[in-house]
Amino acid sequence: MAGMGIEDRHHLAPFGTGGTARWGERVTGAVVGSAVGDALGAPFEFGLPGVYSGRFPDGVGTMCGGGGWDPGEATDDTQMAVLVADSLLERGGLEPADIFRRFQRWAVSDPKDIGLQTEDVLTNGEPWDRAAALHFQVNRRAAGNGSLMRATTAAVYFAKAGREATMAAARRIAALTHGDAAAWEGTAIYHDLIRAALTGADPLSAVPDALAAVHPDHRARWSTVLAPDWHPDDATEFNGAVWPCLGSALWALRTTDSFERALGAAIDLGGDTDTVAAVTGGLAGACYGLPSIPARWTTPLHVPLPGFGDRVLRAAELGALARKLGAGSGT
Ligand SMILES: [Mg+2]
């Protein structure tokens, strides 16, 4: 990337009306791309920066498995995203109580990974519309990336409804497990950037309009991490927090010119690698489209769904799910 300005780099990507990816390729790219990022990053969770590029000097890598994960196995990020998708499609719209019930059924079925806060909110016995708020009242810390990580499916579903509606839906789904409005706003921004990317726009150019729709109390902090000159080294929290997670995903998108390299850059940051890569993969997949995701990543991809029988989604099923989500009116 040396010697290339941000603007120059942009024009290498298939953004805008001259792009090659069509709507169907973008919606499938977003959903499959997020799952691929999740599975690719999972073996590197909580590692240091540079571990990924040390193992894969090409910066791209393979679905290697490790840390308890089989090669290509998607984690809680994608599992919860599928639960959201199933609810939206089966209920024909947003029914927060139904999503919460699905989350609960999954949470008590021994998933390999579940966020600490998410687990507490889903198992504390409080009703769906109070559990996260009560948790936040007691703990005062609820700005993890756990609502952002699962947002791609809903972002695809609500894209056609426009900015205001998709951001409103994002906040409501985020609030099921996260009581801190910083997480709601970050998830809302992500929804709007996915919406922009699915229309063929450059999500990086869409950041100012999304920020303008953020709650004023949270706008300054989000503006900082989404600024074009922000670098993951500037983060003031671990990237398991919502701000540096989304900031890092945009940085990965901004500083690379392909789906593969965006994911490699995201995972090489270390830390919460599955989630940073899941968020990066959703955005990059929406930009570059499904054909940009290599078969050596999609072939081993699989998403178990604890609590929902033996159902395991492979890339083809995720693609079909994405097309149904993208076909809806998003109401
Ligand atoms: Mg995970």
Residue 74 C-alpha to ligand 1 middle, in angstroms?
8
Residue 213 C-alpha to ligand 1 middle, in angstroms?
28
Residue 18 C-alpha to ligand 1 middle, in angstroms?
35
Residue 216 C-alpha to ligand 1 middle, in angstroms?
30
Burial of 142 (0-12, 13-18, 19+ CB in 10 A): buried
Residue 55 C-alpha to ligand 1 middle, in angstroms?
21
Residue 149 C-alpha to ligand 1 middle, in angstroms?
8
Cα end-to-end distance, the chain, whole Å: 41
Are the C-beta atoms of residues 287 and 35 closer than 8 Å to each other? no
pLDDT of residue 331: 56
Residue 226 C-alpha to ligand 1 middle, in angstroms?
23
Q: What is the pTM assigned to this prediction?
A: 0.93
Residue 118 C-alpha to ligand 1 middle, in angstroms?
12
Sequential pLDDT tens for the chain (331 residues): 333 333 333 333 444 444 557 999 999 999 999 999 999 999 999 999 999 999 999 989 999 999 999 999 999 999 999 999 999 999 999 999 999 999 999 999 999 999 888 999 999 999 999 999 999 989 887 799 999 999 999 999 999 999 999 999 999 999 999 999 999 999 999 999 999 999 999 999 999 999 999 999 999 999 999 999 999 999 999 999 999 999 999 999 999 999 999 999 999 999 999 999 999 999 999 999 999 999 999 999 999 999 999 899 999 999 999 999 999 766 5
pLDDT of residue 117: 86
pLDDT of residue 3: 33
Listed in sequence order, the residues at least 6 apart from 229 whose beta carbon sits closer than 8 Å to its beta carbon are none
Looking up tokens 């994608």 gives 78
CA 117/CA 98 separation, integer angstroms: 20
pLDDT of residue 18: 40
Per-residue burial over 23-56, b if 16 or more Cβ lie within 10 Å, else e, is bebbbbbbbbbbbbbbbbbbbbbebeeebbbebe
Residue 236 C-alpha to ligand 1 middle, in angstroms?
21
Q: Residue 320: left (phi > 0), alpha (psi -120 to 50), or beta?
A: alpha
Q: CA distances (Å), 223 to each of 143, 213, 228, 238, 247, in order?
A: 16, 12, 10, 18, 10
- C-alpha angle 260/291/249, rounded to 5°? 35
pLDDT of residue 116: 86
Are the C-beta atoms of residues 96 and 134 closer than 8 Å to each other? no
Please provide residue 303's backbone torsions phi and psi, each rounded to the nearest 5 degrees: -125, 100
Q: CA distances (Å), 90 to each of 84, 94, 139, in order?
A: 10, 10, 34
CA 22/CA 38 separation, integer angstroms: 24
Looking up tokens 């791309």 gives 33
Residue 278 C-alpha to ligand 1 middle, in angstroms?
9
Residue 298 C-alpha to ligand 1 middle, in angstroms?
18
The packing angle between helices 131-139 and 116-123, to 10°, is 130
Q: Which residues are bridge partners to 314 per DSSP? A: 302
